Amino acid sequence: MSHTFTLDGKVIPFVDGQTIIQAASAAGVFIPHLCYHPEFKPHGSCKLCTVKVNGRHTASCTMRAAPGMVVESETEEINAERRALTQMLFVEGNHFCPSCEKSGNCQLQATAYHLGMMSPHYDHFFPNRAVDASHPEVLLDFNRCILCSLCVRASRDVDGKNVFGLSGRGIKTHLIVNAKSGQLADTDFTLDDKAAQVCPVGVILKKRRGFAVPIGERKFDKAPISETADTTEGR
């Protein structure tokens, strides 16, 4: 059955069972997000999609829409919080956009632009993370991981391989490869896996392909993420 709620004053229709972000997306309204992906169950971990519902903060990817809800998203207060979260993601990893193949196709970078992030603001952690180049077709650059767990979910739920996992707790949480050696080459991961297609940043990259698409012709070069129908990372 169809109902409506308001999002920043705009009437958004929804059907029973839809979350706020699903309904907004169907109506063509962008809510910033990183760990949410329309093809996967919500994870609710990045908190970028936080909105205010009837005055209370909640993740729009996990909150089901309800009739008459008053939802606020594009307010300076909420965007300031999203910006701070994004800045934290940048300083916790090593995100050197100028030499990253994903630049222009990167959801984190596009989201930072959308939120008007002008600097990292916080001190960089500069973590020392190794690159896993063991696989013949795919490079893993852990420096850029934002712990969205999309590769974990894709490998487990779609590919049925369980190649990836998150290990550790709190600030020590990190992405691991499910092999005794810890190396991707020692798994049955292939380039065709769904997990190879979903990374919103530049962690899982096809090897030997770099900068083949010129500047200006990449997904988020052409239009800001808020005006791009498919907000998942570019290819």
Partner 1 sequence: MTYQLETAQHPETLRRVAIDPVSRVEGHGKVTILLDDQNKVHQVRLHIVEFRGFEKFIQGRPYWEVPVMVQRLCGICPVSHHLAASKALDVIVGAKKLTATAEKMRRLMHYGQMLQSHALHFFHLCSPDLLFGFDSDVTKRNIVGVAMAHPETAKRGVLLRKFGQEVIRVTAGKRVHGTGAIPGGVNKALTVAERDELLKDIYHIVQWSRDAVHLIQKVHTQDPGLYNSFGIFRSNFMSIVGNNGDLDFYHGTLRARDDNGKIIFDHVDYQQYNQYIEEEVRPWSYMKFPFFKSLGKDHGWYKVGPLARVQNCNQISTPFAEHERKEFVDYAGGSPMHAPLAYHWTRMIEMLHAAEVIKELLHDDDLLGSDLVVEGERQMEGVGVIEAPRGTLFHHYQVDENDLITMANLIVSTTNNNQAMNEAIRHVARRYLHGHEVTEGLLNHIEVAIRAFDPCLSCATHALGKMPLEVELVDPEGRIVHSLSRS
CB of 131 to partner 1, least distance (A): 6
Q: Which of 17, 55, 170, 216 binds partner 1 (CB under 8 A)?
A: 216
Q: Which is nearer to partner 1, 209 or 222 (CB)?
A: 209
Identify whether the C-beta of residue 33 lies closer than 8 Å to the C-beta of residue 46. yes
Segment 137 to 166, residues that bind partner 1, using CB under 8 A: 139, 141
Nearest CA to 61 among 143, 167, 150, 179? 150
Handedness of CA 214, 116, 146, 7 (dihedral sign): negative
Tokens found for residue 62: 């996990």
Dist CA 98 CA 149 (whole Å): 25
Rule CB under 8 A: is residue 128 a binding residue for partner 1?
Answer: no
Identify whether the C-beta of residue 187 lies closer than 8 Å to the C-beta of residue 155. no
Q: What are phi and psi of 220, to 5 degrees?
A: -90, 0
Q: Which of 182, 210, 223, 224 binds partner 1 (CB under 8 A)?
A: 210
Rule CB under 8 A: is residue 235 a binding residue for partner 1?
Answer: no
Query: CB-side exposure of 107: number of CA atoms within 13 Å?
Result: 25
Rule CB under 8 A: is residue 41 a binding residue for partner 1?
Answer: no
CB of 214 to partner 1, least distance (A): 4
Q: Which is nearer to partner 1, 166 or 213 (CB)?
A: 213
Q: Which of 116, 212, 229, 235 binds partner 1 (CB under 8 A)?
A: 212
Pattern 78-117, partner 1, x by CB under 8 A: ------------------x-xxxx----------------
Handedness of CA 146, 150, 153, 156 (dihedral sign): negative
Identify whether the C-beta of residue 176 lies closer than 8 Å to the C-beta of residue 163. no
Rule CB under 8 A: is residue 55 a binding residue for partner 1?
Answer: no
Given the rule CB under 8 A, which residues bind partner 1? Answer: 96, 98-101, 130-131, 133-134, 139, 141, 207-216
